[in-house]
Amino acid sequence: MPYMNEQAYRDALAFNPQIVTIKLGTNDSKPYNWKEQEHFKKDLKTLIESFRALPAKPQIWLCLPVPAYGHAWSINDSVIYNGVIPYIKEVAQEENLPLIDLNTPMQGRRQYFPDTIHPNEEGQQLLAELIFQEVFAKKKK
């Protein structure tokens, strides 16, 4: 289920935002998705270009995915860490985009992921704070 096929993607484009954060990779780590890993970078770049083309010319931030604390839904933390994250870092460098590391600050915080994958309300709050701090600290520079 590529994100670009989802209504949420069309809604995000229609919103014409000034700031865009893109956090992909968790679902991509599933074995049946990661077998298509050679498309990950290209697809991420296509997603970036679709937002760059908006009239608002938004600032775009790439986010590193949070750790997976189990294998629910076949999600694989090793693939996230050793496969997805390096690809996202490469794309950020190639596209000259800032990165927000959500992985490192969430290491060792299993208590925020009751199903081992999705953050609870406290985890969501922490992620929102991390993104807010990074975006607005970078904007001031």
Q: State the pTM of this model.
A: 0.92
Mean pLDDT over 85-104 rounds to: 98
Q: Report the interhelical angle of 85-94 vs 40-52 (nearest 10°).
A: 40
On the question of pLDDT at 1 being above 70, the answer is no
Going from N- to C-terminal start, the domains of the chain cover 3-140
The CATH number of domain 3-140, selected from 3.30.70.2860, 3.20.20.70, 3.40.50.1110, 3.30.9.10: 3.40.50.1110
Identify the residue whose tokens are 């296509």.
46
Q: How far is CA 115 from the centre of its chain?
A: 19
For 27-43, how does the pLDDT look when each residue is reduced to its tens digit (9 = 90+)? 999 999 999 899 999 99
- pLDDT above 70 as % of the chain: 96
For 109-137, how does the pLDDT look when each residue is reduced to its tens digit (9 = 90+)? 999 999 999 999 999 999 999 999 999 97
